[in-house]
A and B are shown apart, each in its own frame.
Chain A
Amino acid sequence: MQRVAITGAGTVNALGANVPETLQAFQDGRCGIGPLSFRDVDRLSIKIGGQVVGYDEAAHFNRQQISLYDRFTQFTLLAAREAVAQSGLAFTGDLAVQSGAILGTAAGGMNTWDDNYKDVYEGGKNRVHPFVVPKLMNNAAASHVSMEHNLKGPTFTVSTACASSNHAMGLAFQMIRSGASKAMLTGGSEAMLTFGGIKAWEGLRVMSKDACRPFSANRNGMVQGEGAGVFVFEDWDHAKARGADILAEVVGFAMSSDASDIVMPSKQGAARAIAGALNDAGMDASEIGYINAHGTGTAANDKTECAAVADVFGSHADQLMISSTKSMHGHLIGGTGAVELLACIMALRDGIVAPTIGYEEEDAECALDVVPNVARSANISAALSNAFAFGGLNAVLALRAA
């Protein structure tokens, strides 16, 4: 089995237009959640989100590209450019054939659906732009990444709601570990902050109107975000041989299905994925110093997640830190695990643990060290990143410091 290195990282999200800005925001405990700005927002009851503001697509893409790239694809391409540039890889020859892209998204081109439904239903138009289909399809981002970087190997999209990017990264990890690929671009993207996107979520009545406060007793729901996170996963020996800077090592992955309920999470299903990732990594639970929580800020998730962590880690649960950066960038749904992996890398590489901001009141059912409000310095050698999706689909990654 091959070891798997992370040699590049890129992102666009409410906290920043790249990785350094995002990590700085994590360290500062800065909140990227604010008033939403898009058409018909006045008809929504939920008016906040982690929106990418001040974004000018024309600064990054030409007119022809814009006609083909939905917002979720644009975010993906920008994150991929940053990750590939950092890795220093050029995908040519054999490497191109042995490299691919596995990306997560829950809703794909939601803006394209929303705009065109509005035109044909509300606007009464009988004609839509010819590129609606290639623009909205969930695999558009993966395909455009493969075209832009000449990735000719396995390329596809994973859609498992809020676990999409963790499932994607887990599969990319497995492909490199098995020797099937040399390098994979992986992560995920979401751009669901549209009238239709938020209106749909409102229906579930799980959204907060004021803030995302994971693990805090006064939490009142989740807040949506948008953006992308993309990483270069690379065969360890390949990375070492070319002298690449290794950001962290991916050492384990596990997935499980609750097989119980379409929206309510299960402690057992989450615990099986967490324990499974440790087992896959050949790691003792006591090695984990930090967990990036799924931590949505809903009562159902936070209590279940804390109980699952307590079950798997026993007394070590009180020694480790667990934080939810969704309090800062919001819930990026299919892209969330990718942006959150940045917090794991920061903990392992820089020795700084991102906080759970908005934390105001202790909750006896979430009695773990959730790193409230202020980032913390710590020497972390191993970390987990949790994702537990609607539909009961769980995906947990285990990382070690390089």
Chain B
Amino acid sequence: MSVQDQVIQIIADQALLDVSDVTMQSTLDDLGIDSMGVVESIFAIEETFDIQVPFNANEPTASDFDISSVAAIVAAVEKLVAQKG
């Protein structure tokens, strides 16, 4: 499974949606994922890819980890996975 597919699976699980309902353009807000859901999704991403995601819930826009859309999250995770390799 690609990074993109895995991230979409995690987000879909969190939003209690089918993966087909999660598009690259979707925002977490669109999907009904609240701040607790964001933190839980990031935990799942860290566990899945064995990476450290730089994210502070107090300043969600201040970190390098862009969560403005599913596409942005996928790109950020791909970058972190590549850095790990």
* Closest Cβ–Cβ distance, residue B14 to chain A (whole Å): 9
Main secondary structure of the interface of B (DSSP, over half): helix
Q: Does residue A67 face the partner (Cβ distance < 8 Å to B)?
A: yes
* Closest Cβ–Cβ distance, residue B85 to chain A (whole Å): 19
Q: Check A130–B47 contact: CB distance below 8 A.
A: no
Q: Check A127–B46 contact: CB distance below 8 A.
A: yes
Main secondary structure of the interface of A (DSSP, over half): loop
Contact of B36 among A63, A127, A131 (CB under 8 A): A131
Chain B hits for A129, CB < 8 A: 40, 43
Q: Check A67–B40 contact: CB distance below 8 A.
A: yes
B-facing mask of A258-287, CB < 8 A → 1, else 0? Answer: 000000000000000000000000000000
Q: Determine the residue in chain B with the shortest Cβ distance to A125.
A: B47
Q: Does residue B39 face the partner (Cβ distance < 8 Å to A)?
A: yes
Q: Check A130–B40 contact: CB distance below 8 A.
A: yes
Chain A hits for B40, CB < 8 A: 67, 129-131
Chain B hits for A63, CB < 8 A: 16
B-facing mask of A101-131, CB < 8 A → 1, else 0? Answer: 0000000000000000000000000010111
CA distance A127 to B42 in the complex (A): 11
Chain A hits for B36, CB < 8 A: 130-131
Q: Determine the residue in chain A with the shortest Cβ distance to B14.
A: A64
Q: Check A130–B39 contact: CB distance below 8 A.
A: yes
Chain B hits for A64, CB < 8 A: 16
Chain A hits for B16, CB < 8 A: 63-64
* Closest Cβ–Cβ distance, residue B56 to chain A (whole Å): 12
Residues 323-357 (chain A) with a chain B CB within 8 angstroms? none
CA distance A127 to B45 in the complex (A): 12
A-facing mask of B41-75, CB < 8 A → 1, else 0? Answer: 01100110000000000000000000000000000
CA distance A129 to B16 in the complex (A): 18
* Closest Cβ–Cβ distance, residue A124 to chain B (whole Å): 13
Residues 43-68 (chain A) with a chain B CB within 8 angstroms? 63-64, 67
Chain B hits for A130, CB < 8 A: 36, 39-40, 42-43
Chain B hits for A67, CB < 8 A: 40
* Closest Cβ–Cβ distance, residue B18 to chain A (whole Å): 15
CA distance A131 to B39 in the complex (A): 9
CA distance A129 to B39 in the complex (A): 9
Q: Determine the residue in chain A with the shortest Cβ distance to B42.
A: A130
Interface residues of B (CB under 8 A from A): 16, 36, 39-40, 42-43, 46-47
Interface residues of A (CB under 8 A from B): 63-64, 67, 127, 129-131
Q: Give me 10 A-to-B residue pairs in the complex whose CB atoms sit less than 8 angstroms apart, sorted by A's number.
A: A127-B43, A127-B47, A129-B40, A129-B43, A130-B36, A130-B39, A130-B40, A130-B42, A131-B36, A131-B40
Given A64-B16, A127-B46, 13 other A-B contacts at CB below 8 A? A63-B16, A67-B40, A127-B43, A127-B47, A129-B40, A129-B43, A130-B36, A130-B39, A130-B40, A130-B42, A130-B43, A131-B36, A131-B40
